[in-house]
Each structure stands twice: as structure tokens, then as C-alpha cells.
Structure 1
Amino acid sequence: MTRFSVAASLLALAVTALPVQPAAAAASSPMQVYGAWHCSNDACTWAKVRDLAEFDAANHWLIDRGDGRPSVNVVVLSFVNPLRLLNGTTDAGNAAGVPVGMDQRVVDYFTAHGIRVMLSIGGITYTGDWDTALAQNGTLLGQKAAALASKLGVGIEIDYENSNNPNLTGLQAFVDAYRAAHPYDASGADPTARLTIDVAAGDRWLIGIDQYATANWLTTANPVLDYANAMVPSRQPSASSATANWQEHLDGKPTYNPAIPPLAPAKFTGSLYVAEGSKVRPECNDFANSVQKATGSWVQSAAPNGAGTTAGLLGFMFWAAEKPSTRGVTTAPPNSCEGGVGAGATAFSVPVPMPPLRQS
């Protein structure tokens, strides 16, 4: 045996003797936000007072996934018309600008089970009314939203879907007025301090709002809003399309003018349909074959790319409980969602009530 052969043999023995190091586990964070927008049984108008027994029969799956635990940790009642809220309109479906179905009894139905409640102001139907209300008095609108939050003990979601020329000056006035009444609360202990915003599924729609909110309100260094929801696209995405959309928020759009900065994973959720038109999706009743199951690992481990330090989106939001359109399917029995959303809450060990949110 040559000296080279001897040396090679000794090296091989030394390498063999070294302990095998396990591969490093990918960084991930447990889901913290897992919720549903709720449209009542009249296509998101909440224009009638609900009988609580009937409401429970239609929505019991939200507070009981089948073992007594809630299926979600947040419900967002959708929608309040911003112009009616500003004007304090009282008519057949509203009292002082608030849909009559969004009453304290409905809020308490969820909070009694540890589920956080928020009210969504806007929706695409009310985009023009957002424009008008902000042009009239964004500050007063923010004050009225803050007073409504105080009255019911809820948070507020901004759903302003102007994709062409949003009134960002008026929206800033709204946010300033709301925060003057309910300052940012990193602990999450004060439900009225929870203020969120909806952005598009990715960075290529609602560009003005997305850019402004990401740059000014959703930073980890100086947060103003708690987080954003990346809304559903026009139809249920595949797993690859969903993660591609959400990755756009992580990456930002540096070539846009003005550029959209990257968004920290801890500052947004991804959204999926539970029902779409006449179809009940696996998100509702078949977790094993759902997009949320297929994307769950990605959602919990998505890496920061220029903003934030911790991996993983905050979690999932689902569109939408009960009946979001007049001709669409409902999630009331027999289409209730224990087998999809509820099973996902178990699979992802979703905490109820919602814990303090990651801040970085």
C-alpha cells in the first residue's frame, strides 16, 4: 500500500467516526390568525336582526369544530357601508349607520367562545362610498369607526378596494383619527385597538393602497396597523398560485414607481374560499384535499425577504361564512365547515383565543 493509500484509508476511517449531524429544521412559526369573514344570510348586508337560535343553527360550526372547540379564532362581520357610517344613516337595514344585524348579541355569541370579532368597513360594493366618505371627512369617519368599535368591543378592518385612484390622504386621516382613540396595542389585549387592512392576493392589484400601507402602516419598526389580509383572488387558486401570490408581498415590487417594499411575513395572512359561487370547496368540508393543507407548511415557514425577522405568515382567513352572495351556496348545514376549517384548526393547533401576535 502506498503512502497515499494509507493516508486515504485513515481519512476515510476518521470521517466514518464523526457523528452524523441532523439536517437543520426549516424555521417556522405556528399560526396565530385563523378566521372567517362572515356575511350573515343576506349577501353581506346584515340588514336584518337575526334570531339567535336560527343564527346558531346556521353557524354553530364556527364555535364548535365537533369537539367543543371553536373552528376559528377571529370572525370579521362584513360589511359596514362607510358613507352610511359617516352620515349616521338610519333606514330599514341600518341604525345610526350600522347594519342592524351587527348587534351586541351577535358579537357576544362569538366572544363568549374566545373568538375575536371585527367589523369590516367597505367591500367592493361600497368602493364608491369609501371615495365619497373620505372626500367628505376622513377624520370624522375614523372617529365614528372608533366609537363603533368602543360600543361593541370589536376591532375594525379597512376594506377599501379602489384599484385606480384611492384617496390615500383621506385614508391616512381615517387611520390617524382611529389611532387617536385606540392606540396600537402590541399585546392584543384591547379588542378595539385591532385595526387591519385588506390588500390584494398579490402585489398587482390595489397597488396604491398596497404600496402605501406596506410602506407606512405595516412596518415592524413602527407599526400602525396590526396586519393585512391578502384577499382571495377571483377564484380559488391552486396551491402553487396561492403561494406565488403571497410571495409577491414578501418580495415587494422594487421596479414599481413608487416601489412596493417587501412585507414582513408576520404582518399578513393568506386567504382562501370555503365556498365559491355554487360550489362548496374542500376548505369547508374536506381538509385532506384542501389548498390550505397543501400550503400550510409554506404558510408557516415562508421566509422574510427584506422585511421582518421571523418566518411564517400569521395564518389563514376564509371567504366567507354563511351566504356571501344571493345566488351562491351557504355554509349553513348541510354545508357547515367542521371538516375543513375545523379540521384545519386541529391540524395546525390554532390557539383560541388568539394570542399576542408576532411583532417581527
Structure 2
Amino acid sequence: MRRLAALVCLLVPLLIAVPARAAATPIQVYGSWHCGNDACIWGAVRDVSEFDQKNHWLIDRGDGRPSVNVVVLSFVHPVKLLHKTTDAQTLDGVPRGMTADIVNYFKSRGIRVMLSIGGITYTDAWNAALAENAAQFGRNAAEVAQRLGVGIEIDYEENSGADLAGLQSFIDAYRAVLPYDATGANQAARLTIDLAAGDRWLIDIGRKATADWLRTTAPVLDYANAMVPARQPSASAAIANWQEHLDGKATYAPPIPPLAPAKFTGSLYIAEGNKVLPECTGFGASLQNTTGTFVQTAAPNGAGTSSGLLGYMFWAAERPSTRGVTTLPPNTCEGGVGGGATAYSIPIPMPALRQS
């Protein structure tokens, strides 16, 4: 009887159904938006030594390895880029602080660099640039990308009545100069877009991007960033937002189709108001830790074939606003963002991205 009982004890666990879970997919995109020292204007040339004192954590998590594999310099003014404006804060359409020296500060460490066009402050400027000459706007963006060896991020935050035809013309013009490059080898060909945290804001842009520009079968844009919500979410709220992109919104008229996991990142705050967040200072208590299983295993639900989001983006390095906490010393983020880079074995430089 004892032998029979022992045999039953061995067999029973094998008969209990265990829910299937996708194998974890390695995170590929792990980066930070960067606002410079003047609340995202980048209006003055930076001395590289001074810049390094404020931002060394990005290139060194404490052991000589970078904390991120992409930095997005934010923001370029759309109309100034269209007009190739030169003024006190701008040189030939680009903020004076976004110099080749700053780009190379990151690229020399294997960190990819992108320039973000827009942001919520420049929504009207996006509308104006698209209305005036969307195709020339796109060509100018491509020229800057080639000259600096950077990618371009579309951050067009028009929630109602977005100029989708103009945005299509901008993208078409950019791609006529710099075709989609699945290998990622041509860094200037990297063209991404920012979407809302979930599917309930920027609805028209989200629908258009998901249906026409972010398909795995015929990609036009490399990927999207699901941006941060109004404030730092809980882990469950962050996951719920990201799941909306995976599911789409079939009940909307017209519906928003599902987005492939391999076509977007989730975003978190590292600096918010007057709080020093664990996302910056301590990986163990951070959302990039507690949401990590979802981000690496999220299953496709009607689009794509591979599981797992591309990774994480963090808002935002140095001084994203004139008030509140920044990532300046002593609030540097090698313990949070850098700790996550170690925990997730983030590849540096960024590898060729999954395409399905």
C-alpha cells in the first residue's frame, strides 16, 4: 500500500492541467526620452563634459555598460524643421543643443539615437507643418536623419481631427528617401511613432498607424511607443493599457485592429512631479520589474506571431520640466533603469528587431 500511495503521489501532479505560458522573449528596445537641461527645448549647445556630468548614468550603469540601448532627443519643432529655421534656439531647423557631439556621445557607446518631432506642446505646429507642405516636411526630416545618423520619432499628439492624409504624405516622403530597413543597419531609416498608453486617446492616429503602418506583413514604420499615461500607473493599469493595443477595439466605429506585440514598446515614468521613483532608483521595486513577465510573454491576439512586446521606454532623462524632480545627480537612474538593463540582459547595441 505504501508503494501504491507513493506512486499515486508521483502521478497526480502530472494529471493536473497547468495553464500554458509563452516562453519569455528577450527585450530588444530599452531606452529613454531625453529632454536636455531646458524642459525639452534643447535650445543651447552643450559642452560634452558638462553634459556627461549630468547624464553619465545613461552610458554607465555602474560597471561601464550603458543603462539603455536607445536615447530619443526630445523635441524638434515641426514648423521650424519644415522652414529650416535659424534663430536663437534653432540651427537649420534643428534645436541647437542636438549636435553631432551629443549624438556621438551616445553612439560611441553603442547607444542608438533618435530625434523626436513634436510632443504635446507642438501639436499645433504639427498641424501647421502638415497643412503647409507635408512632403517637404518629411524630406527635411530624412535629411536631418542622414546628416546626424539618427532615427526619427513621430510624436503627433492631435487627439481630434488629426491630419492623417498629411501624415501619410510625410511618411511617404521620408520613406522615398530612406526605405524601410528590417535589419536596422541604416540608423537613419529607423522611423517610429508614439501612440497613446492604450487605445482610448489619439484614436484616429492609433487606428491609422495600426491598420496601415505597423503591420508585420507590410511594415512602413519600425514600431510604436505606447506613451506614458497622465501619471505613473500601477502594474495592473500599465498592463491593461498595453493589452488594449494587443486586442484592438472591435466595438469602435470604425474599429481599431489589434497590434502585433513585436510592433510596440510600453512606457513608464522615471521622473514625475516631486517624486523620486523606483523606476529610476531601484529595479527591485520598479514597474519594469513587476511588469516584466507580461512584457516578455504577452501573446498576439489577431496580429503578429511572436509573443512579447519589444521592450520599454522611459520618460524622461535630465529635465523634462522646469519644476519637480529630474534625473540630475543625485537622482540618477543606474539603479532602476540600469538595474533593469542588467536583469534583462539588454543587448547593446540594439539588435535587428523581430519582424513578426
- TM category, shorter: over 0.9
2:352 aligned residue: 356
- Which has more radius of gyration? 1
Corresponding residue for residue 139 of structure 1:
135
C-alpha offsets along residues 267-291 of structure 1, whole Å, 9 cap, x if unaligned?
0000000010121211000111111
Gaps of 5+ in 2: none
* Cross-structure match for 1:4: none
The corresponding residue for 1:277 is 273
Deviation (angstroms), 1:133? 0.4
Alignment of 1:1-16 (within 5 A): none
Deviation at 1:144, TM superposition (A): 0.1
Encode CA deviations 1:114-142: one digit per residue, 9 max, x unaligned.
00000000000000000000000100000
1:201 to 190, 197, 202: 197
AA partner of residue 119 (structure 2): G
The structure 1 residue matched to 2:334, chosen from 334, 338, 342, is 338
User: Are 1:245 and 2:228 counterparts?
Assistant: no
Indicate whether 1:329 and 2:329 are aligned. no
> Which residue in the other structure is 2:184 paired with?
188
Structure 2 Cα separation of the partners of residues 255 and 195 of structure 1? 30
Q: What's 2:112 paired with?
A: 116
SS state at 1:120 partner: strand
User: Shift of residue 28 of structure 1?
Assistant: 2.2
Q: Is the 8 A contact 2:21 2:297 kept in 1?
A: no
Q: Which residue pairs with 2:48 in the alignment?
A: 52
Cα shift at 1:14: 9.8
With structure 1 as the length reference, what TM-score do the two structures score? 0.94
Provide the rounded CA distance (Å) in 2 between the counterparts of 1:277 and 1:19.
Answer: 50
Secondary structure of the corresponding residue to residue 232 of structure 1: coil
Structure 2: distance between partners of 1:287 and 1:55? 25
Q: Of residues 305, 312, 330 in structure 2, which corresponds to 1:309?
A: 305
> Percent of aligned pairs with the same residue?
69
Count the aligned residue pairs. Answer: 351
Q: What is the Cα deviation at residue 19 of structure 1?
A: 11
**Cα–Cα, structure 1 residues 18 and 158, in superposed 2: closer, same or farther, change >3 Å?**
same
- The equivalences for 1:28-47 within 5 A come to 28-47=24-43
> For 2:116 and 2:9, how far apart are their aligned partners in 1?
61
What SS does structure 1 have at the residue aligned with 2:238? helix
Distance, in Å, in 1 between the alignment partners of 2:95 and 2:211 is: 33
Distance 1:223 1:308 in 2: 12
CA 1:25/1:328 → structure 2, altered by over 3 Å: closer, same or farther? Answer: same
Regions of 4+ moved over 4 Å: 12-25
Could you tell me how far 1:258 is from its partner in structure 2? 1.4
- Equivalence for 1:298: 294
1:51 Cα deviation from its structure 2 partner: 1.0
Q: How large is the Cα RMSD of the aligned pairs?
A: 1.9
- Whether 2:74 is the aligned partner of 1:78: answer yes
